[in-house]
Every structure is written in structure tokens, then in C-alpha cells.
């Protein structure tokens, strides 16, 4: 097993899906499994992950800023991502570290594009600018119906974006499904309604396959 992970090139894996689809749960399971194998890992979460990006996160998720326009939201999200990419992700990958992102560029296309209705072509360009044109090697999409989301029921605690409601989350979900088809070289769609351990096993198997196929 250890031999599979002796590459000195960093691997970049992102997790995507609507709010409460189980991303954070799967991110931490994958991280511990990699750490058990002696793999150096770095976890980043969006929006946030650097001093500047966390400040932007506070603005983005603040429920008092209900007047925020969709364009402002898209620019703040990608500003946060630009700092995270430059300060954390690129240096880690250059050191051969395994980077796991709890959300990355596809979230902008799904939420600000599919959810808020902004022009997707423009957002793709904005994303590429913010990420220095870096894409994840693998993107796990945890696909779940918004009605079955594991946390949207606690709506009174929802942040500004989660609070946008079920219909909004359904639009986000359908955009994610389109992205999975468009970027089928890196997207792996997983049925998020399965049990935590079944989902984790699938993710682990796909991660190992990626290593075997690409990093020998």
C-alpha cells in the first residue's frame, strides 16, 4: 500500500456538493486515512484558509449583509480563492504535499453561476485568473437532493448562502451535475445518500486508482 504513495508530485483533490451533503465528513476521513499511510497532507477550506481569505469569508457568510449583489459575491469568493491558491495551494503542491480542498473553483460555477444566474463563461475566466489556471486532479461531487441535505434542516443557524433555501440548492445541484459531465476527466460523482463508510470506501478506492494510473 505504501508504495502507491511514493510520488514526489503533489496531488490536488477537491470536494464539492450542496450545503450539508457530507463534504467535511468525507474530507476528514480521507485526510486521516492518508495520514495513516504516512502521506503529508494539507487541508484547505473555501471560502477562507488564509488570514486575508478568512476576513473575506466573514463578509461573505454574514447574515446582516443581505443586500450583497451576486457580482460582489462572485468577486469576493474568487478574491478569497486567489489568495488561498497563491499562499497555500501552489507552494504545498510544489513541495509534493497532498492538498485536499473542501470546495474550490467549481463552487463558484455552481453557486454564483447555477444558483445566482451569473454568466458561466465569465465566471470560468474569473476562476482561471484567481487560480493561476490550476485545476484539481480529482473532484469528488457528493450528489444529494436538497430535501435530503444533512444540515439544511437546521435552517435557523444557516449562514447567508445556506439560507437561500431549498429551491436555490436544487439549482446549485443541477449545475454541479452539468459540471461533472463537462469536466468528466476529473469529476467523480458519488451518491451522497449512501452511508458515511460506503462513501468513504468509494473515495479511497478512486484515490488509489488515480495514483496507480498517474503517479507510478
Q: Which of 196, 201, 205, 208 binds ligand ADP (CB under 6 A)?
A: 196
The single residue listed with the C-alpha cell 478512486 is: 206
Binding residues for ligand ADP restricted to 25-44, rule: CB under 6 A: 25
Contact range with ligand ADP by CB under 6 A, out of 20-28, 39-47, 54-62, 73-81:
20-28
The single residue listed with the C-alpha cell 464539492 is: 16
Task: Take residue 154 and report the three cell numbers written for it.
Answer: 437546521
Asked if 22 is part of the footprint of ligand ADP (rule: CB under 6 A), the reply reads yes
Contact range with ligand ADP by CB under 6 A, out of 13-21, 29-37, 44-52, 115-123:
13-21
Asked if 151 is part of the footprint of ligand ADP (rule: CB under 6 A), the reply reads yes
CA 107 → CA 40, 62, 87, 111, 134, distances in Å?
25, 18, 20, 6, 15
CB neighbourhood size of 104 (10 A): 26
Q: Which of 4, 7, 24, 202 binds ligand ADP (CB under 6 A)?
A: 24
Indicate the residue among 10 and 48 with the shorter CB distance to ligand ADP: 48
Asked if 23 is part of the footprint of ligand ADP (rule: CB under 6 A), the reply reads yes
Q: Which of 10, 11, 14, 21 binds ligand ADP (CB under 6 A)?
A: 21
Q: Which of 199, 200, 203, 207 binds ligand ADP (CB under 6 A)?
A: 199
- Min dist. Cβ of residue 94 to ligand ADP (A): 28
Asked if 202 is part of the footprint of ligand ADP (rule: CB under 6 A), the reply reads no
Asked if 157 is part of the footprint of ligand ADP (rule: CB under 6 A), the reply reads no
DSSP string, 49-93: SSHHHHHHHHHHH-TT-TT--HHHHHHHHHHHHHHHIIIIIHHHH
d(CA 160, CA 111) in angstroms, rounded, equals 12
Indicate the residue among 92 and 158 with the shorter CB distance to ligand ADP: 158
Task: Take residue 152 and report the three cell numbers written for it.
Answer: 439544511
Task: Give which of 86, 80, 70, 176 is closest to 122, Cα–Cα.
Answer: 70
The single residue listed with the C-alpha cell 480542498 is: 101
Residues in contact with ligand ADP by the rule CB under 6 A: 17, 19-25, 150-151, 195-196, 199
Amino acid at each position: 500500500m505504501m508504495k502507491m504513495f511514493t510520488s514526489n508530485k503533489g496531488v490536488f483533490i477537491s470536494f464539492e456538493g450542496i450545503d450539508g451533503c457530507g463534504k467535511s465528513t468525507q474530507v476528514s476521513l480521507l485526510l486521516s486515512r492518508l495520514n495513516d499511510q504516512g502521506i503529508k497532507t494539507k487541508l484547505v477550506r473555501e471560502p477562507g484558509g488564509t488570514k486575508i481569505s478568512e476576513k473575506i469569508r466573514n463578509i461573505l457568510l454574514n447574515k446582516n449583509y443581505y443586500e450583497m449583489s451576486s457580482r460582489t459575491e462572485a468577486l469576493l469568493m474568487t478574491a478569497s480563492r486567489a489568495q488561498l491558491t497563491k499562499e497555500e495551494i501552489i507552494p504545498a503542491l510544489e513541495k509534493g504535499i497532498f492538498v485536499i480542498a473542501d470546495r474550490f473553483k467549481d463552487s463558484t460555477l455552481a453557486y454564483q453561476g447555477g444558483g445566482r444566474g451569473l454568466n458561466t463563461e465569465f465566471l470560468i475566466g474569473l476562476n482561471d485568473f484567481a487560480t493561476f489556471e490550476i485545476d484539481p486532479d480529482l473532484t469528488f461531487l457528493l450528489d444529494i437532493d436538497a430535501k435530503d441535505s444533512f444540515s439544511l434542516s437546521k435552517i435557523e443557524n444557516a449562514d447567508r448562502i445556506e439560507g437561500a433555501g431549498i429551491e436555490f440548492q436544487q439549482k446549485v445541484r443541477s449545475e454541479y451535475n452539468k459540471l461533472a459531465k463537462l469536466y468528466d476527466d476529473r469529476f467523480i460523482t458519488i451518491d451522497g445518500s449512501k452511508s458515511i463508510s460506503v462513501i468513504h470506501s468509494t473515495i479511497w478506492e478512486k484515490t488509489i486508482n488515480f495514483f496507480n494510473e498517474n503517479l507510478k
